[in-house]
Structure 1
């Protein structure tokens, strides 16, 4: 089982919201209204770990090891939402999300192949690591800068944990797992081709609710994400290359084949399905 060691490793790295966030360093003059609003939107988005966890537990009933790991992932992701809400509660209480706004992003996800979902969320962690790293650079207020640094590090650890389950899946399922990981990896690394940044929170997940079946579509401002990325934190080509590079490097190590470009990954994907 992977869960016991992952629990021990993540327990050692766990941060304390009371002691490890420098609340007393807050500088109101360095926080704009626009910046504060992005914190609210990210707090609500992080709350969507709740329906994601419900999905994982439903679709992995035959895997108690991975399901147990969800207890860690769910706790830490909800903590991300909580620390941003605590920031707003202290310094911009009028922007703190309401219970109704939080509950709006809790809806049922359609069943999907568990291996593809695992890869999808691994890629999501890789992307969120870089989004939060860039957000920390963009913000000017020191407390929220530190919060985003902490969250970015958490997301990187989560990606590493998912990667361990991906490696185990290849040992158990062989080519089937490789096909799933290559398929979703190519999709998630091809944001330039899709014309938008691909992340689990902006993908359609419930046919009956379409088009209101993405987490992003249920935010108070559904257009927020693209504006945050393009105009505010300015997540440009250099940063996007870090996301794609992270996906390719990890898949290259996982598959034990050189994958330097999305084209390489696509060719490998076609070889697996030939």
Structure 2
């Protein structure tokens, strides 16, 4: 089982919201209305770990080890939402999300192949790590800079945990897992070609609710993500290359094959099966 080992390692890295966040360093002159608004949107987005956890538990009923790990992932992701809301409660209370705004992002996700879902969320953690690092650089107020840096480190650790379950899946499922991981890897490393940021919160997950079946579509400001990335934190080519590089490096380690580009990964994917397309 991986859960006991992951519990110990993540417990050692755990931070305390009251004691480890330097609330006393807040400088209101360095926080703009625009920046505070993005904190609200990120807080609500992080709250979507709730329906994601419900999905994982539903679709992994045969895997008690991974389901137990969800107790850690869910706790830490909800703490991300909570620390962002606590920041607003202390310093911009008028922007703190309402319970109705939080509940709006709790909706059912359609069942999906669990190997593909695992890889999708691994890539999501890689991407969030870089989004939050860039957000920490963009913000000018010191406390929120510290918070974004802190939760970025959590996301990186979560990605490492998912990678362990991916490695276990390859040991158990072999070619089936390799195909799933390579397919989603090509998709998630091709944001430029897709023309939009590819992350679990921006993908359609409930056909009956389409087109309002992404987490982002259910936010008070559905267009905020693209604006945040393009105009505000300016997550440009250099940063996107860090995301793609992270995905390729980890898959290179996982498959024991060097991928220098998405094209390399796609060729590998096609070679896994004569029917791959």
TM-score, structure 2 normalization: 0.99
Aligned position for 1:11: 11
Alpha-carbon deviations, 1:158-190, whole Å to 9, x = none?
A: 000000000000000000000000000000000
Aligned position for 2:208: 208
In the TM superposition, structure 1's runs of 4+ consecutive aligned residues that sit over 2 Å from their partners are none
CA RMSD of aligned residues (A): 0.3
Aligned position for 1:114: 114
1:223 aligns with 2:223: yes
Q: Helix, strand or coil for the counterpart of 2:272?
A: helix
Aligned position for 2:166: 166
Cα distance in 2, alignment partners of residues 174 and 58 from structure 1: 23
Q: Helix, strand or coil for the counterpart of 1:240?
A: helix
Aligned position for 2:191: 191
1:92 aligns with 2:92: yes
Alpha-carbon deviations, 1:48-105, whole Å to 9, x = none?
A: 0000000000000000000000000000000000000000000000000000000000
Alpha-carbon deviations, 1:185-230, whole Å to 9, x = none?
A: 0000000110011000000000000000000000000000000000
Alpha-carbon deviations, 1:16-65, whole Å to 9, x = none?
A: 00011000000000000000000000000000000000000000000000
Cα distance in 2, alignment partners of residues 246 and 87 from structure 1: 30
1:129 aligns with 2:144: no
Q: Helix, strand or coil for the counterpart of 1:84?
A: helix
Cα distance in 1, alignment partners of residues 40 and 192 from structure 2: 27
Alpha-carbon deviations, 1:119-166, whole Å to 9, x = none?
A: 000000000000000000000000000000000000000000000000
- Aligned-pair CA distance for 1:258: 1.1
Aligned position for 1:145: 145
Q: Helix, strand or coil for the counterpart of 2:196?
A: coil
1:47 aligns with 2:38: no
- Aligned-pair CA distance for 1:273: 2.2
Cα distance in 2, alignment partners of residues 119 and 186 from structure 1: 11
1:75 aligns with 2:45: no
Cα distance in 1, alignment partners of residues 160 and 93 from structure 2: 35
The 5-angstrom pairing of residues 21-32 of structure 1 reads: 21-32=21-32
Cα distance in 1, alignment partners of residues 61 and 158 from structure 2: 21
Q: Helix, strand or coil for the counterpart of 2:125?
A: helix
TM-score, structure 1 normalization: 1.00
Cα distance in 1, alignment partners of residues 129 and 20 from structure 2: 19
Alpha-carbon deviations, 1:241-274, whole Å to 9, x = none?
A: 0000000000011001111100000000000122
Cα distance in 2, alignment partners of residues 267 and 193 from structure 1: 17
Cα distance in 2, alignment partners of residues 135 and 191 from structure 1: 19
Aligned position for 2:250: 250
Cα distance in 1, alignment partners of residues 56 and 233 from structure 2: 31
Gaps spanning 5+ residues in structure 2: where?
none
